[in-house]
Structure 1
């Protein structure tokens, strides 16, 4: 049995100004994605001007922040939104949704495609291997905060979290960091090192995330005010939101390899 280190969530306090580890993890993720993007832009089969990497990252950051907050409010806190519509603006209260952030990023892709006159799927294929860096650092931020822990377990790596009961639990945020972050980063980077049909890289991203997130949801506790869905003891809102990702990602892969389409870049 392990014990959570109970980190101080504040990394640096300068008078009334407090810098939280969670925010620093977001910054680390964005910087890591930018660094990977500059390396990816140099790959010979990628037709991507390096100077556009920073522009694209700005659009992605806006999509993640706005989409993540809006998605969390609508997917996980809809009753409160109906009672207090302005809660959607209270970002300081916390609450971000990956699936909402993904939808925000998709909107950002279309916006960027229109501004730069590029194919939206080329943008998605270029960016897909960069996104897991943000997922990795974000889940590490969850671990530092001691949040999003899983169900009780007797596994030797079970961990006691300060905000939970004294029984050991699955450190599910670390599972997500390993699967949705590190594993996806390695797989997608390897897969995209060679030319692939348009939509293949982004389609694989959707499938991988849908599978990995659904697996972790089996041991991750659902939000207390939502619980498990449809009278089950295992099907969560996270799983439900992954179903469209799996269907769309699978369809994109099928289309990519069944008809002659332009290569990514």
Structure 2
């Protein structure tokens, strides 16, 4: 059996002191948010009647706060409530990792509702454009998970298995890279195509994102050494799969609703 050399990537780019350092994890999240806002503004600029100039760039700070706060609280409440209940100060140690996508999604949706209403932008239009580009940020986030050596896969003997220090030096699936491909590259390509074909049907792209991410995450969880939820345990489904099922169901319902509500697209 061939095994890729031991995972020994340093998550710290450089360190100034014991309390101050620059980490790949934080840089990856920042790069993802910057790309999403820049790419979304470029798409919105082609629809000036519906979007104010720089509407996404102007919400970059609030978007980052929504992701960090929602993602962290999601990890605390969904996966590690017992741990953080006795170590509340560690909730603020975001540089150590521990972010829940589903929590981050809830945070972003709440922030987007408030932001779109304040700027008088149709919420579904706002989320359609944002949803197209979010997979690239997810890809950056999964690469950060790989660099941190966290959220690794199940033990395996495949040729590309990698031993992770936190995983007991056992060869494992590099599931972070699988997720970077499925939730990032593949989902981005699918949503770009959907947006191109149905961008005049407001809400369709955002609904498709819920379905697409839910399916990608559900599949990837079979290779991931998954965590269980703090408040619910299943012998058949992982925590990530349990949280993804409502996404898929809600996404299908919203897709049908928005497809029926939207006027047929007029072809040029």
Q: TM (normalized to structure 1)?
A: 0.89
C-alpha distance in 2 between matches for 1:226 and 1:4: 31
1:26 has 2:29 as partner = yes
Alignment-derived partner of residue 145 in structure 1? 148
C-alpha distance in 2 between matches for 1:212 and 1:133: 14
Unaligned runs of 5+ in 1: none
Alignment-derived partner of residue 163 in structure 1? 166
- 1:256–1:134 Cα change, 3 Å: same
Q: Is contact 2:215–2:248 with CA below 8 Å preserved after alignment? A: yes
C-alpha distance in 1 between matches for 2:162 and 2:95: 28
* Partner of residue 189 from structure 2, selected from 174, 186, 191: 186
Cα deviation, 1:180-215, whole Å, max 9, x if unaligned, reads 011111111222124341110000000000000010
- 1:227–1:2 Cα change, 3 Å: farther
C-alpha distance in 2 between matches for 1:6 and 1:136: 21
Q: Is contact 2:128–2:202 with CA below 8 Å preserved after alignment? A: yes
C-alpha distance in 1 between matches for 2:249 and 2:141: 25
* Partner of residue 256 from structure 1, selected from 241, 251, 258: 258
- 1:27–1:114 Cα change, 3 Å: same
- 1:228–1:51 Cα change, 3 Å: closer
* Partner of residue 216 from structure 1, selected from 189, 214, 220: 220
Alignment-derived partner of residue 131 in structure 2? 128
Cα deviation, 1:114-166, whole Å, max 9, x if unaligned, reads 21122222211121012111101111111111111111112222222222234
**Aligned positions of 1:1-265 closer than 5 A:** 1-16=3-18, 17-44=20-47, 47-83=50-86, 87-194=90-197, 195-223=199-227, 229-230=233-234, 232=235, 234-260=236-262
- 1:27–1:262 Cα change, 3 Å: farther
Q: Is contact 1:67–1:103 with CA below 8 Å preserved after alignment? A: yes
Q: Is contact 1:139–1:174 with CA below 8 Å preserved after alignment? A: yes
- 1:201–1:110 Cα change, 3 Å: same
- 1:227–1:73 Cα change, 3 Å: closer
Q: Is contact 2:84–2:91 with CA below 8 Å preserved after alignment? A: yes
- 1:55–1:105 Cα change, 3 Å: same
Unaligned runs of 5+ in 2: none
- 1:221–1:181 Cα change, 3 Å: same
How many residues align? The count is 261
